[in-house]
């Protein structure tokens, strides 16, 4: 670290008579946030030490002495400067960890492990542009970012835009959740100028057939060519800017049956299956071993719902239920209702084909009770929101039409201040190509955040 950098650090490091050296790090006792910072410091030490233990240990000890010296010198400052007071709100552990990161990234700027830790750390603690900077370097080195890091970037930029608006905190909390949900799920919305409605498809809810019929009608593509890969055609041709004045249409499915279908269709050891490979890599499963429903459900229940593979993600997330009120709600159990509606709207009626993996599939009542309980926990909002019973013997919804109330409809709010916030998020996030392709445009995403 340069002399100038050290000088700047001296100005930044706060002090407190309560601070002390605990487990080779400074924390304010009892502070949850500072214990988290201490974890970062410990993690950084382990990465640093894995290189050249003798030299790195010496540098690590120097950094501890340096942090302690800076803390001591700051304790002598008795001024009332508001900036100093503000800085003192942060733990010495933050600056200690920051020192490690800057010191070793200057020496090893291509160390991906350090870059990932630094990007995560700055997302929680420092100006976001620090994290964007490191995220961009990581992307340039690896060609991709982890989905968890993308989630953190989206969450923080969303909070930074929504929190300042002049609304009550409950509104802002729901708006943040709604915006994050929309970012990760708007890719499921099919829209085109010629389409009389917006359709939100859900994997394992006859989505292949539904995409095929819509593509044949509105994408102006050859039927036989479309049949080869209806997903690719629909995702490419039916992803224009969404007109929120049009109706939103969804097709739901019994959550028990949807999970069973997805499990039987995607969790196949040894088979070349992109979804299976993604899930194994995400949770550390062996690609050559069986994965039980129990094991998979345990993993899914520990995952942020917006990051669950689309075949297993809750329908309420995919349908953006916090920000979009569907005009028409149909169910796969009463599929003819949708076909009649779509035919009346001009969708070609002879272009459906149903893929089925239900042969020899277990029924919900055949599953062990504790497995059903986990399925219900994962999809509780789906059961409640779309009228399905927790009773495994009742497969059809109690109603095919839903009184879908939104407490705060963030995306459709007409308040001038909120519209400005939405327009800003639209520029930063919602129009990002990340939503429109599996070859995520992460470079454009990060550039948008920095700009």
CATH number at residue 144: 1.25.40
* pLDDT-derived band at 94, boundaries 50, 70, 90: low
In a domain, 358, yes or no: yes
Q: Are residues 134 and 23 in the same domain?
A: yes
> 199 by DSSP, 3-state: which?
strand
In a domain, 177, yes or no: no
Which of 80-84, 221-225, 411-415 has the weakest average pLDDT? 80-84
Q: Are residues 93 and 39 in the same domain?
A: yes
* Strand 197-200, strand 189-190: pairing: antiparallel
* Residue 99 predicted with pLDDT over 70: no
* pLDDT-derived band at 408, boundaries 50, 70, 90: confident
CA–CA distances in Å: residue 160 to residues 228, 346, 350: 44, 43, 49
* Residue 219 predicted with pLDDT over 60: yes
d(CA 423, CA 41): 38
Which of 221-230, 273-282, 430-439 has the weakest average pLDDT? 430-439
Q: Are residues 163 and 14 in the same domain?
A: yes
Q: Which of 390, 410, 430 is the last residue of a domain?
A: 410
Triad 431, 436, 440: Cα angle to 5° = 100
Chain position carrying tokens 């690590």: 60
Q: Are residues 156 and 204 in the same domain?
A: no
* Residue 294 predicted with pLDDT over 90: yes
Q: Are residues 274 and 324 in the same domain?
A: yes
What is the value of pTM for the model shown?
0.75
Q: Which residues pair with 20 in a beta bridge?
A: 27
**Of 205, 152, 154, 202, which is closest to residue 320 (Cα–Cα)?**
202
What's the confidence (pLDDT) of residue 113?
67
d(CA 385, CA 377): 14
Q: Which of 134, 167, 200 is the last residue of a domain?
A: 167
Q: What is the mean pLDDT of residues 93-121?
A: 66
Share of the chain above pLDDT 90, in %: 37
* Residue 42 predicted with pLDDT over 70: no
What's the confidence (pLDDT) of residue 406?
79
Q: Are residues 397 and 271 in the same domain?
A: yes
**Of 209, 182, 202, which is closest to residue 250 (Cα–Cα)?**
202
In a domain, 311, yes or no: yes
Q: Are residues 248 and 324 in the same domain?
A: yes
d(CA 70, CA 65): 9
Q: Are residues 143 and 209 in the same domain?
A: no
Edge-to-edge strands, sheet with 328-331? 189-190, 197-200, 247-252, 328-331
Q: Are residues 71 and 11 in the same domain?
A: yes
Residue 397 makes CB contacts below 8 A (sequence gap 6+) with 252, 254, 331, 333, 386, 387, 388
* Residue 241 predicted with pLDDT over 70: yes
* Residue 115 predicted with pLDDT over 50: yes
Q: What is the mean pLDDT of residues 295-321?
A: 95
Question: What average pLDDT does the structure give for the chain?
Answer: 76
- Give the residue with greater pLDDT, 406 vs 392: 392
* Residue 74 predicted with pLDDT over 60: no
* pLDDT-derived band at 52, boundaries 50, 70, 90: very low
What's the confidence (pLDDT) of residue 80?
47
45-49, 96-100, 204-208: which has the highest mean pLDDT? 204-208
SS (H, E, C) 107-135: HCCCCHHHHHHHHHHHHHHCCHHHHHHHH
103-112, 208-217, 399-408, 430-439: which has the highest mean pLDDT? 208-217
Its domain, for residue 94, covers: 3-167
Q: Are residues 378 and 335 in the same domain?
A: yes
* pLDDT-derived band at 62, boundaries 50, 70, 90: low
Q: Are residues 136 and 265 in the same domain?
A: no
- Give the residue with greater pLDDT, 329 vs 231: 329
d(CA 192, CA 351): 18
pLDDT digits (tens, 9 = 90+) for 341-361: 999 999 886 555 555 556 678
Q: Is-contact 260 211, C-beta < 8 A?
A: no
In a domain, 185, yes or no: no
* Residue 258 predicted with pLDDT over 80: yes
In a domain, 50, yes or no: yes
HSE-CB at 195 with a 13 A cutoff on CA atoms is 32
- The pair of three-digit structure tokens given for residue 9, joined into one six-digit string: 């650090």
* Residue 293 predicted with pLDDT over 90: yes
CA–CA distances in Å: residue 251 to residues 39, 139, 210, 248: 45, 37, 9, 11
End-to-end C-alpha distance for the chain, whole angstroms: 28
Domain count, the chain: 2
220: left (phi over 0), alpha (psi -120 to 50) or beta: left
* Residue 85 predicted with pLDDT over 80: no
In a domain, 264, yes or no: yes
What's the confidence (pLDDT) of residue 169?
94
In a domain, 39, yes or no: yes
Q: Which of 108, 134, 167 is the last residue of a domain?
A: 167
* Residue 447 predicted with pLDDT over 60: yes
Q: What is the mean pLDDT of residues 365-390?
A: 95
d(CA 333, CA 386): 12
* Residue 26 predicted with pLDDT over 70: no
d(CA 32, CA 26): 13
Q: Are residues 162 and 196 in the same domain?
A: no
In a domain, 261, yes or no: yes
What's the confidence (pLDDT) of residue 15?
28
d(CA 283, CA 451): 34
* Residue 12 predicted with pLDDT over 60: no
């Amino acid at each position: 670290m340069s002399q100038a950098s050290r000088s700047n650090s001296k100005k930044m490091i706060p002090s407190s008579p309560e601070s002390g050296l605990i487990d080779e790090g400074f924390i304010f006792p009892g502070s949850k946030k500072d214990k988290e910072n201490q974890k970062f410091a410990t993690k950084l030490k382990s990465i640093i030490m894995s290189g050249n233990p003798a030299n790195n240990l010496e540098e690590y000890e120097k950094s501890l002495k340096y942090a302690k010296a800076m803390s001591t010198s700051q304790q002598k400052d008795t001024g009332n400067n508001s900036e100093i007071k503000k800085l003192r709100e942060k733990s010495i552990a933050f600056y200690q960890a920051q020192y490690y990161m800057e010191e070793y990234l200057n020496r090893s700027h291509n160390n991906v492990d350090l870059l990932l830790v630094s990007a995560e750390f700055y997302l929680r603690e420092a100006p976001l542009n620090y994290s964007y900077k490191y995220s961009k370097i990581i992307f340039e080195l690896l060609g991709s970012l982890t989905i968890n890091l993308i989630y953190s970037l989206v969450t923080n930029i969303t909070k930074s835009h929504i929190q300042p608006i002049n609304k009550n905190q409950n509104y802002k909390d729901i708006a943040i959740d709604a915006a994050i949900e929309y970012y990760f799920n708007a890719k499921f919305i099919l829209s085109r100028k010629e389409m009389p409605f917006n359709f939100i498809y859900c994997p394992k809810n006859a989505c292949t057939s539904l995409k095929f019929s819509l593509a044949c009608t509105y994408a102006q593509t050859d039927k036989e060519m479309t049949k080869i890969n209806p997903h690719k055609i629909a995702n490419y041709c039916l992803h224009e800017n969404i007109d929120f004045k049009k109706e939103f249409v969804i097709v739901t499915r019994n959550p028990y049956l949807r999970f069973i279908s997805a499990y039987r269709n995607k969790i196949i050891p040894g088979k070349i299956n992109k979804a299976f490979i993604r899930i194994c890599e995400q949770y550390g499963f062996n690609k050559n071993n069986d994965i039980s429903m129990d094991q998979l459900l345990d993993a899914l229940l520990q995952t942020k719902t917006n990051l669950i593979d689309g075949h297993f993600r809750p329908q309420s997330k995919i349908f953006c239920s916090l920000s979009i009120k569907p005009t028409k709600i149909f169910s796969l159990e009463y599929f003819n209702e949708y076909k009649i509606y779509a035919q009346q709207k001009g969708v070609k009626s002879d272009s459906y084909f149903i893929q089925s993996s239900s042969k020899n599939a277990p029924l919900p009542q055949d599953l062990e009770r504790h497995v059903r309980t986990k399925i219900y926990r994962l999809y509780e909002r789906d059961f409640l929101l779309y009228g399905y019973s927790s009773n495994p013997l009742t497969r059809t919804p109690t109603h095919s039409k839903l009184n879908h109330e939104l407490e705060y409809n963030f995306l459709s709010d007409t308040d001038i201040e909120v519209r400005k916030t939405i327009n800003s998020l639209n520029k930063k996030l919602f129009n990002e190509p990340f939503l429109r392709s599996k070859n995520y445009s992460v470079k454009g995403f990060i550039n948008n955040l920095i700009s």
